[in-house]
Each structure stands twice: as structure tokens, then as C-alpha cells.
Amino acid sequence: MKKIIMLSLCLLSPTLYAKEITVKVNGMVCSMCAQGIQKKFSKISEVKDIKVDLDTKVVSIVTKDDKDLKDSKIKEIITEAGYNVATIERK
Amino acid sequence: MLIKVVCLLALIFSLPSFSHPVIYKEGTVVSSSNMKSYSDNQLMYSWSNRWASGLNHWRFTKDESNTDLAFLKTNYLLYRYNGEFSQGNIYVHGGFGVADSEIEKRQTNEAYMTGVEMDWETRTLYTSWKYYYFTSPKVTDISMTQARIGFSPYEAGFDQLQSWFMVQVMYMPDVEKEAIITPLLRFFYKNVLWEIGSSTRAEWMLNIMVHY
């Protein structure tokens, strides 16, 4: 019984914690123009925190516990902000 | 000679205008650009990342007499290059509205405008060029070419103040016989951009833009 409980917890655990998503973005050279990225992601209910780094050209997204954000949604938001997604990585 | 060289360089490398005519989807831009010979005020809404529409008012001043033009205007992002370290854009503009001129005798009539604009920038280099043409039957015909080149001495972070040194060359043969060369300082912080400059004829420039 203990094994079943432990196994269930292990299987469910990835969905119980926040996810950190790292998005490499092309064209992000102007901080004023990139404000749109922060503004758009901040309005998404699944997003807990959003950081834009012009040095690394990376947008770091932290989701709320038990929430996720699909790659298609991330690409849609970045595109609507005027940029291109190079890569998406999840931790 | 120096003025001619600066003017030539700016026209060759030129590019930007005040800032991007289309911003992120559902973003709004309020801007005001002012010099002695002209002012340009805009309220534009980007309803996609390619299209923006809104209101645009221009005032050209020649020999103390004003020509006002008010437009319903649309901007379209024709092409965008998103590179790892740079971005380039080509925009086209079109609008219709009304013109009112007090040059010679007071006249009011329908008016139209069209334009094309290009820019290329990195985090420390900026170039742009734009051409606008305004026409109103029996009232006015005004063409305007503007070019800029600039550099930033440092790469500012996302939440830091960004500073630029720029030179703007503006040529409006229907308003001023000679090109207006204006060295200026550009700053932006978060969603607010402001510029201050003084032309080689000691005419002040003051521009401000806010993204919402």
C-alpha cells in the first residue's frame, strides 16, 4: 500500500509544482518595445512571474503551482509582441 | 562641409523615425513630436502585430503661417527581420482627413497622406529613414524626408534607463528650403520615451512617446 501511495505521489508531483520555462527570443534589442512581452505574460492566469533579459535574449516564465503553459500559447504571445521564438526549454 | 557630411551620412545610413509605428497586439501609443517648423501628434492602437490605426495631427509652420492636417491613419508592418542581435522593419502608412491652411489665403479641404518607413537597430546602434507625402487639392502639397542615425554608449537592461545620442536630418522643401539637422538625446525607461534636441539653427526639439 505504501508503495502505491509513493508511486502515485511521484507520478503526480510534476503537476503540483510551478514550472520554469526559458524562452530564447530573436529580435529583442529594445527594452521599451519588449515591454509588451512582460505585459502580455503578466495577464495570463497561469503565470506567476515573468522576467525579460536583454543580455541573454531570454524570457523566463514561472507558472503558478499546478499550472502549465503550452508551447503554442508561448509562441502566440511572443509573436503578437512582434518577436520570434528561437527555443523553449522547461525545468 | 561638416554639415554636408553629417547630412549625407544620415541619409545614407538613415533610418528611424520617432519609434515603431506598430507595436505589440492591443498596445496603444501616444506620441508628440515638436519643432518650430512642424509638430506631429498621434494616438495609435495596434490591433495586431502588423496593423495599427488611429488619429494623427500634423502642423507645418512656414513664415509664421500654419498648415494643419488631421488624419485617420493606418500603419502596416510590411516586413520585419528579427535577428539574434538586431531588428529591422519596413512600414507603410496611409491616411485621409482634412487640411486647413492659412498660407496666402485660408483654405480647408480633404487631405490624404502616404508614407514609407524603415529602421534597423541593435542595442547600441540605430538607423532609420522615412518619407511622407501630404496632399490636399488646392490647399497644400508637402513632402517630408527624415533620417536618423544614433548610438548608445552602453547596453541597458530591461528595467534600466536607456540613453542614445542621435542626429536627425529632416528635409521638407515645401516648408523649409534647407534641411534641418538636429543632434538630439533620446532616453527611454520602461514604457516612456523622450527626446530633446536643438537644431544647427538653434531650434528646439521636444518629443515624447508612451506605450500603453
Span A32-44, mean pLDDT?
90
B102-to-B62, B85, B105, B112, B121 alpha-carbon distances in Å: 10, 48, 6, 18, 39
Inter-residue contact A32 to B188 (CB < 8 Å): yes
Asked whether the beta carbons of B186 and B166 are under 8 A apart, the reply is: yes
The answer to whether the CB atoms of B87 and A86 lie below 8 A apart is no
Q: Per-residue confidence at A11, pLDDT binned at 50, 70, 90?
A: low
For B23, the closest of A36, A79, A84 (CB atoms) is A36
CATH number of the domain at A31, please: 3.30.70.100
A32: in domain: yes
The residue ranking higher by pLDDT, B61 or B105, is B61
Chain B CB contacts of A29 under 8 Å are 85-87, 121-123
Number of domains chain A contains: 1
Whether A10 has its CB under 8 Å from any CB of chain B: the answer is: no
**Enclosing domain of residue B143:** 2-211
Give the list of residues 6+ apart from residue B2 with CB closer than 8 angstroms, or none.
Answer: none
Tell me the percentage of chain A whose pLDDT exceeds 70.
Answer: 85
pTM above 0.90, yes or no: no
Residue A64 lies in a domain: yes
For strands A47-53 and A58-63, give the pairing: antiparallel
Answer positive or negative: Cα dihedral of B127, B131, B132, B138: positive
Question: For chain A, what is the radius of gyration of the CA atoms?
Answer: 16
Interface of B with A (CB under 8 A): 19-20, 22-25, 27, 48-49, 80-87, 121-123, 155-160, 162, 188, 190-193, 211
Neighbours of A84 (CB within 10 A): 18
Tell me if ipTM is over 0.85. no
Q: B48 falls in which pLDDT band (50, 70, 90)? A: very high
Cα distance between residue B102 and residue B56, in whole Å: 19
Instruction: For residue range B108-162, list pLDDT tens digits in order.
Output: 899 999 999 999 999 999 999 999 999 999 888 999 999 999 999 999 998 999 9
Q: Is A57 among the domain residues? A: yes
Overall average pLDDT of the A66-72 stretch = 89
Q: How many folded domains does chain B comprise?
A: 1
Read off the CATH number of the domain in which B146 is found.
2.40.160
